[in-house]
């Protein structure tokens, strides 16, 4: 997504420096050679200049904006690398989605990022984020994409949105930072749940009449959205955010396919998560599973303490058991849509 995000920026005439992590050496080398991105399967703009991460201090000099595109497991790594060279007056825009837990409370990844910055600058840096239904390949191909940019400074959000908008990249602003971050994080685990249906259908087979399992997909989607709303409210966000682009929109596009859907198929076929991950997706990031692993123990503790209402989160608890403890797929029908 970090690479795809260069497309609207470059198209608007901005000079863009694309810095790979220590895992992106081959990709950065190929972009340097011919501007072709092997995972996006398309060419990036000639104005996008690729760099290896060890040149971060050099390329960040004079920047107006830093975009954070690492996955959720790389947030602390990125903060440690950026911390010594990030000017406090340069805003950060996070594409990374996820939550973290310390056993006693849940937190936002931007807050985790901030906590790893040097003490002298961490409270001065403006942290902002993008949320909404955005598949990297579609953005890179200039397909119509609708997102919100969120943060606490409305004037800054308006400026950043102006830098990003194109005829195909449609950007709204939203100051509900907590709600956006929670919704776009939680949608991953529920997209994994919707993906279970691929495997269940394959295992049971299409009915003689041609009927498939759209009803089941829709019910799981609806329960997931209901639980996203609960978590947004619990974390202090606004309910509307759960029903708009960061919640309903992002959950829909993520549930349509991709890595969560592929893993969901294996699980729905009856394969334990650990086996499916090691055999078929060892080198692939499964965002829904990462979230379950990151917050699972904390969610369990908070429910036991009565801080979280377990009756409101049956699907989340089910997915945590499936991912963290290789539990079999058993949909908690009777607990769905509890009042």
Of 175, 194, 225, the position where a domain reaches its end is: 175
- Distance in angstroms (rounded) separating the CA atoms of residues 250 and 189: 12
Of 140, 175, 210, the position where a domain reaches its end is: 175
Does residue 339 have a pLDDT over 80? no
Q: Which of 17, 289, 257 is nearest to 138 (CA)?
A: 257
With b for 16 or more beta-carbon neighbours within 10 A and e for fewer, the 104-117 pattern comes to eebbbbbebbbebb
Count how many Cα atoms sit within 13 Å of the Cα of residue 35 in the half-sphere of its side chain.
12
- Distance in angstroms (rounded) separating the CA atoms of residues 238 and 219: 23
Residues ≥6 apart with Cβ < 8 Å to 4: 40, 136, 137, 139, 140
212 is a domain residue: yes
Overall average pLDDT of the 234-248 stretch: 97
Quote the tokens at residue 242.
């759960």
- Distance in angstroms (rounded) separating the CA atoms of residues 297 and 324: 9
Angle, helices 258-268/177-204, rounded to nearest 10 degrees: 40
Report the CATH number that the domain containing residue 268 is assigned in CATH: 1.10.1040.10
Grade residue 258 by pLDDT with cuts at 50, 70 and 90.
Answer: confident
With b for 16 or more beta-carbon neighbours within 10 A and e for fewer, the 243-260 pattern comes to bbbbbbbbbbbbbeebbb
Of 149, 175, 201, the position where a domain reaches its end is: 175
| Mean pLDDT, rounded, of the chain | 95
pTM score: 0.95
Grouping H, G, I as helix, E, B as strand and the rest as coil, residue 309 is coil
Overall average pLDDT of the 115-122 stretch: 93
Residue-range definition of the domain harbouring residue 33: 6-175
Specify whether 329 is located in the same domain as 233: yes
Specify whether 221 is located in the same domain as 295: yes
**pLDDT value of position 338:** 80
132 is a domain residue: yes
Specify whether 160 is located in the same domain as 207: no
Specify whether 290 is located in the same domain as 160: no
Q: State pLDDT tens for residues 198-214.
A: 999 999 999 999 999 99
Q: How many Å is the maximal CA-CA distance in the chain?
A: 67
Quote the tokens at residue 290.
């990462």
242 is a domain residue: yes
Overall average pLDDT of the 149-170 stretch: 97
Specify whether 155 is located in the same domain as 62: yes
**pLDDT value of position 71:** 87
Domain count, the chain: 2
Does residue 257 have a pLDDT over 80? no
Specify whether 53 is located in the same domain as 136: yes
- Distance in angstroms (rounded) separating the CA atoms of residues 203 and 193: 16
Overall average pLDDT of the 20-27 stretch: 91
1 is a domain residue: no
Does residue 103 have a pLDDT over 90? yes
């Amino acid at each position: 997504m970090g690479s795809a995000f260069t497309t609207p920026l470059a198209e608007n005439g901005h000079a863009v420096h694309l810095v790979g992590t220590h895992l992106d050496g081959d990709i950065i080398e190929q972009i340097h050679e011919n501007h072709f991105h092997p995972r996006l399967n398309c060419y990036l703009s000639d104005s996008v200049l690729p760099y290896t991460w060890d040149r971060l201090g050099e390329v960040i000099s004079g920047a107006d904006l830093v975009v954070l595109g690492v996955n959720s497991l790389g947030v602390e790594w990125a903060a440690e690398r950026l911390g010594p060279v990030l000017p406090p007056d340069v805003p950060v825009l996070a594409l990374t989605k996820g939550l973290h837990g310390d056993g006693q409370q849940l937190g936002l990844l931007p807050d985790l990022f901030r906590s790893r910055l040097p003490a002298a600058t961490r409270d001065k840096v403006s942290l902002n984020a993008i949320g909404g239904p955005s598949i990297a390949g579609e953005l890179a191909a200039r397909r119509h994409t609708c997102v919100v940019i969120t943060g606490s400074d409305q004037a800054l959000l308006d400026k950043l949105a102006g830098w990003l908008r194109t005829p195909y990249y449609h950007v709204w602003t939203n100051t509900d930072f907590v709600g956006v971050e929670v919704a776009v994080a939680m949608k991953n685990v529920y997209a994994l749940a919707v993906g279970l249906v691929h495997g269940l259908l394959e295992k049971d087979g299409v009915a003689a009449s041609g009927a498939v399992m759209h009803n089941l997909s829709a019910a799981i989607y609806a329960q997931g959205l209901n639980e996203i709303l609960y978590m947004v409210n619990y974390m202090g966000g606004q309910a509307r955010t759960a029903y708009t682009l960061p919640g309903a929109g992002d959950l829909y596009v993520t549930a349509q396919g991709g890595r969560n859907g592929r893993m969901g198929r294996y699980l729905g076929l009856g394969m334990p998560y650990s086996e499916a991950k090691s055999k078929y997706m060892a080198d692939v990031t499964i965002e829904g599973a990462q979230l379950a692993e990151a917050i699972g123990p904390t969610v369990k503790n908070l429910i036991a303490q009565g801080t979280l209402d377990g009756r409101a989160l049956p699907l989340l608890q089910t997915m945590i058991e499936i991912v963290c403890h290789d539990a079999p797929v058993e949909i908690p029908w009777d607990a769905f849509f509890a009042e």
